[in-house]
Structure formats: structure tokens, C-alpha cells
Amino acid sequence: MLDIIKILPSEVSNKIAAGEVVQRPSSALKELIENSIDANSTKIQIIIKDAGKNLIQVIDNGKGMSKNDMHLSFIKHATSKINKIEDIYSISSMGFRGEALAAIASVSMLEMESITDNQNGHFIEINGGKLLREKVSNIQEGTSIKIKNIFYNIPARRNFLKSNFVELRHILDVFHRLAISHPEIEFSFINNDEEIFYLKGESLKKRIVSIFGEKVRENLIPINESTQIADISGFVLKPEFSKKSRSNQFVFVNKRFIKSQFINHSIFASYNGLLKDGYYPGYFLFIDIDPTKIDVNVHPNKIEIKFDDDQNLYSIINSSVKHCLGIYQVSPVLDFDKDPSMDISYDQVNSQPRIPAIEINSEFNPFEVFNDERVNNVSYNYLAPNSKLNFEDDNNQNLKIFQILNKFIVSTNKSSLIIINQNLAHQRILYESFLKSIFENSANSQKLVFPIELSLTKKQLLLYNKIIDEFKSIGFDIIVRNELMLIESIPFGIEKNNVEEVIENILNEEFNTSNDFSASDFFAKRLSKITSIKTGQKLNLDEQEYIVNNLFSCKEPNLSPDNKQIFITLNKNDIEKKFNG
């Protein structure tokens, strides 16, 4: 047999490596920014077009590269950061494998301009890993790298990219992580010609506030603990600021963002007893540890790392977080900037409370529709559609309904027993009515006497802008000014006290693009999930009837918005089978 093994040409092996290092535009951006940080830049500008699909550019004022180094930089295993194998165990820079630029260059059209001490600036252009042209450049400082048409030569991968919206969210995640771990660096971020972030070099606390909005300020509890194994610093968020998602959890080891379940668990355990069920604490935790005590080399994206001494680290983190939470509980004002909005002037304290000009029904409860005269004249579009059970007999008056396990509603018709999951059923009812309101623009809303004020992060604002129309059409009246959201009217059926949670929840969710993507659908699904009655809730008879009646007047009573089965039926045959085996 002939020899069949051959060494892959470098373009091919680089393309394969690219699959590991560069999964999507955000991973390419991460590599570029990390290189700029390693080059000691104090200013980094990021320019993105079409969620990075057409352009990712990073311009820095770092130490730059010589013409020769520029040529070497896009060759695999070209790195200025390690010389010998031991170096990779004590590495403190962000990159060190020397494969990022090579990988990126092999799957994109790349332009690089750089200047370093006492040399002319230089420009090179590389397509699919091949040098296309080069010339002198008049760049004044640092390095600028443009990645155009990422994956242009791997159509399968390009097609695999998600919507611009989703890709931009990944990009913002990467940007947030790097901006938080390097608050001393000035960042500017331009998305489709609009500067959406300008962050001057600042303290960590200010950086967190610049990114997550003013509201986070009063919730930051500083943490500072120095031990033989590691130093812990940063901020944890007050338990009141916990979320139903883990989106506010940031852990950095030696300034590198990492994901670690055991660290998350150790912090979660410190909050024991302080969190509502299903809520997760937020934190910006920096762990400084001797680089020889960790292995950052286990994951190509270096997002997971191994610790030599994870058991001790677990206890150190756990007790540090407990400690700072403890201090906060004893003396809540400890070291936090005071929230000016909490200050009430002397005049106000002594004055009579203002009488609201508009009367609202703050006691509004959708389930009272059936027995409350006051609200019977109002038409509740999505709360009480006309309904008739779709059962064989129409002897509904005597329908027996009861609840079991605070989870299911049991009902019967002539020949079957029906067991309905109350939460899923209510989701379906709300989902269809929200969709209806969105499409018909027909919701009823109630004006709030005192508008609700929410401060938004850039990310939330971005999502809000996508679904403004949906918010309007179901009855929200919202003004956004300087990242501050003023909610002036809310839909009937949503309690005022829940509005903040509802909005935060919607604006923190990822769009799920694997399902058919539509903003209205996303919105209606989210909203119905959040506002539906939950498992564990005891329902009175009216409420149970409301669910049963309205479920069966839905277009699709069988499945929840997430395609879960809402009810099961047991007919005579099913029951007899159970007896006869």
C-alpha cells in the first residue's frame, strides 16, 4: 500500500484550529482586545458593523509591532509571550498560545496596521491566511486590526452564525467582561456608526456603574480579603439585587474572566437564607492567585481553569463573601455612596402627602372579574375572553372542579377526567391574549399616578429598542431618557408591584433563535411566563374555573407556549384498563 499520511498544509490546519479558537465574531473580538491589553494599551477603540459579521476592528495605543513581527504574528504558534515550556505555567498575560491571529487570519479578510518605536508604520492585508499586499502606513501609534467578512471562506460556519441581535449580545458580553476587568483602560465602542459606550479610565466601582447603570451603585458591597492562597476583592451585590438569571455573575482570576461552577456554588452558599427561591446573587469577584497554582491551559478559550487547591479556595471564597454580607447587614451604610434619591428634604418630611389626582384601582385582581361589580363594565381583553368548555355535554353548571397538590386542577366531563397543569394553562391563556393585544393593538392600560422609574443597562436598552412596539401594544406607556425608563401606564392585569420584575426579566432574557424568532412571540412568551400563576399557588374556585374556561377557549389548549403538554385526560377506557390490568 502507498503512503497515505500527509502533513496538512498550514492553511488547512489553521482553519481547523480556527474552529476551536474562533467560534463566532465575539471570540475574535475577545482575542483582539486581549492582545491590545497585553500590548499595554491605555486606550482601546472597538468598531463593529453588522454584529461583527462584516467588520470587527480594534484600535489601540499599545506598544505596536515591527514589520517583521506583523508578518510573524499571523503564523501559527507565533507569540512574543512565551519562550520555553515552563513559561506557560507562570503566564500572566491574556494570550500565550500564539494561535489566535493565525486562526482569525485564516478565516477572514484581515488588515493590520501597526507602528513601533523608531520605525515607519506598516500595513498588511491577509486573505484566508495568505498575504495579499503590504505598504507603508501613516498610522501614528499602536495597532489597528480589522477583521472583515469573518468565515467568508467557510460558508458552513458563516451560515451557522445567529441573528445580528444574538451575535451582538455575545459581543457585548465579551466587551463587558474585558471592560470590567480593566477599568483603568479607556474604551470606546462603536456599533454601526453609533458610539454606544465611552468609558474613560476609572475605578472598578465607577466602571461597574457605567456599564450596569446608576441603580447598581447602592447595591455594591465591597469585598476584600487577603489569604495565603489567594486574594479576593471586588464587589458582591446585596441580596435584594439578586436576579432570576445568573447574568450578573462575574468571576475573574488574575484579571481573566472565567466560568467556574464551584466558585459560583461557594458564593451561592454564602447567601444562604438571604435569597428568594429561584434567585441568584450577583457579583464581580476578583481572585488573585499565584499563576503557578492554576492551569489556564485546559480550555482553548481559556474560560475554564483548574485550581490546584480548589477545596481551600472554596472555603476562602465562601467565608469572605459571608463576612462582607455580615458587615453589610450590621451596618448597611458602611462604605457605600449614598443614594441621593433616598434623601428627603426637611420641607417634604413636614408637608402633607400629595393627594393623587387620578384614582387607580391598585387592588385590581384579574380573578375578581367574576364576582366584583366594580370591574364588570370594563372589557378585559385578555383576562376574561368569552368562553365555553369544549366538552361533549353542556351541563357545565354542575362541573366539578378542584385543585390538587397546589399544582393541578382536576375537572370532569361526561366521560373523562381532565387533569390540568395550572401554571402551563395560565401561560397559554395569557400568551394568546398578549399576542392578540399585540396584533390588534387593543390592550387596556391603567395610568400610574406616580410613574415607575427604572434605570437600564445598555444591553437592556438595546433589547428594549427592539421590542418597543410590543410593549406599547399591550398597554405599557414608557418614556426612555438617558438610560432611565419612566413607566407611566401599565397593562391591566399586571400588578404595579410586579412591574419592575416583569420588565427586568424581559429585558434580561436571551432571544432564543433556535425557535422561530419573532419579537412579538418572544415578548408574549416571556410575559406570560412571568405573570402566570405558579405551581404551588392555592387557587379558589373562581380562579380554578377561570383557568378551565379560558384554557378551552384558546386556539391551542393542548400545549403551553413552550410546547409542553398542558393537560391529560383519562377516559372510561383508560380508567378501566387501570383496574383490569
Q: How far is the C-alpha of 129 from the C-alpha of 107, rounded, in Å?
A: 7
Selected range binding ligand ADP among 59-67, 249-257, 282-290, 324-332, rule: CB under 6 A: 59-67
CB-wise, 23 or 312, nearer to ligand ADP?
Answer: 23
CB-wise, 97 or 243, nearer to ligand ADP?
Answer: 97
CB-wise, 19 or 536, nearer to Mg ion?
Answer: 19
CB-wise, 69 or 501, nearer to ligand ADP?
Answer: 69
CB 524 within 8 A of CB 469: no
Q: How far is the C-alpha of 578 from the C-alpha of 581, rounded, in Å?
A: 5
Minimum separation from the CB atom of position 207 to ligand ADP (A): 21
Contact between 505 and ligand ADP per CB under 6 A: no
Q: How far is the C-alpha of 129 from the C-alpha of 108, rounded, in Å?
A: 8
CB-wise, 113 or 470, nearer to ligand ADP?
Answer: 113
Please identify which residue in 14, 17, 31, 438 interacts with ligand ADP, judged by CB under 6 A: 31
Report the site for ligand ADP in 118-147 (rule: CB under 6 A).
143
Which residue type is seen at 498? N
Please identify which residue in 17, 18, 29, 39 interacts with ligand ADP, judged by CB under 6 A: 39
Selected range binding ligand ADP among 89-97, 233-241, 505-513, 522-530, rule: CB under 6 A: 89-97
Please identify which residue in 10, 42, 67, 78 interacts with ligand ADP, judged by CB under 6 A: 78
Q: How far is the C-alpha of 360 from the C-alpha of 357, rounded, in Å?
A: 10
Q: How many residues contact ligand ADP, by CB under 6 A?
A: 23
CB-wise, 80 or 312, nearer to ligand ADP?
Answer: 80
Contact between 300 and ligand ADP per CB under 6 A: no
Q: How far is the C-alpha of 537 from the C-alpha of 422, rounded, in Å?
A: 9
Q: Which residues contact Mg ion (rule: CB under 5 A)? A: 35, 95, 100
- The x, y and z cell numbers of residue 275, run together, are 435569597
End-to-end CA distance of the chain: 64
Kindly report the number of other CB atoms within 10 A of residue 175's CB atom.
Answer: 27
Positive or negative, the CA dihedral 512, 515, 517, 522 is negative
Backbone φ and ψ for 223, nearest 5 degrees, come out as: -130, 140
Please identify which residue in 14, 45, 96, 543 interacts with ligand ADP, judged by CB under 6 A: 96
Please identify which residue in 43, 81, 466, 472 interacts with ligand ADP, judged by CB under 6 A: 81
User: Burial of 149 by CB count in 10 Å (0-12 exposed, 13-18 middle, 19+ buried)?
Assistant: middle
The CA-atom distances, in angstroms, between 141 and each of 59, 93, 115, 432, 459 are: 9, 21, 6, 58, 31
- Helices (H) and strands (E) in the chain — how many of each? 17, 22
Contact between 91 and ligand ADP per CB under 6 A: no
Q: What is the DSSP string of 276-332?
A: -TT-B--EEEEEEE-GGGEEGGGSTTS-S-EETTHHHHHHHHHHHHHHHHHHHHH-T
Minimum separation from the CB atom of position 33 to Mg ion (A): 10
CB-wise, 103 or 418, nearer to Mg ion?
Answer: 103
Q: Residue of minimal CB distance from Mg ion?
A: 95
Q: How far is the C-alpha of 73 from the C-alpha of 92, rounded, in Å?
A: 20
- The x, y and z cell numbers of residue 381, run together, are 381583553
CB-wise, 77 or 265, nearer to Mg ion?
Answer: 77
Q: How far is the C-alpha of 447 from the C-alpha of 350, rounded, in Å?
A: 28
Selected range binding ligand ADP among 74-82, 132-140, 372-380, 502-510, rule: CB under 6 A: 74-82
CB 209 within 8 A of CB 241: no
Contact between 21 and ligand ADP per CB under 6 A: no
Please identify which residue in 24, 30, 53, 97 interacts with ligand ADP, judged by CB under 6 A: 97
Contact between 80 and ligand ADP per CB under 6 A: yes
CB-wise, 120 or 512, nearer to ligand ADP?
Answer: 120
Contact between 422 and ligand ADP per CB under 6 A: no
CB-wise, 95 or 282, nearer to ligand ADP?
Answer: 95
Please identify which residue in 51, 101, 168, 425 interacts with ligand ADP, judged by CB under 6 A: 101
Q: Residue of minimal CB distance from ligand ADP?
A: 95
What is the binding site for ligand ADP (CB under 6 A)? 31, 35-36, 39, 60, 62-65, 73, 78-81, 95-102, 143
